[in-house]
Amino acid sequence: MVKSGMVIDPETISNLPQLSELRIDVRPADKRWDDSVEAVVKEWILHNWSDGHCVKLLKNCYKAIPDDGKVIVLDAVLPVIPEPNGFVRAASVMDFQMLAQIPGGKERTKQEFEALATQAGFSGIRYECFVCNLCLMEFFK
């Protein structure tokens, strides 16, 4: 159980009822890391960056958390085989927007998130919950 963590945008995740079961203490992030931090939350951040930049960002998070800490990622997850529903279409449209507007930015599949986590040194990922086309993922040391 996480006792404390850092969140860049607490208003967004505070409205997700599924998170109350996880007992996450939500507080805004400082400009610096704090010794009491057990988890770092990244919301819609990784899709803005290339794989290389994501690995660099995740490695910095890895260094900042204790051995039993985690990085919590809230991002869209693309299915390997597209499904005919609005959530997948929205994620696919966002993927095209990232391609057109941000060099290296893209939406990722579960396998791509697992590869990023492994390259950054994490031992595994747990997919906690899906809300619309977003997935709450926990990256463990």
Active site residues: 47
H or E element at residue 76: strand 70-78
Q: Is 132 left (phi over 0), alpha (psi -120 to 50) or beta?
A: left
**Beta-bridge partner residues of 78:** 109
* CA pseudo-torsion sign 85, 13, 50, 121: negative
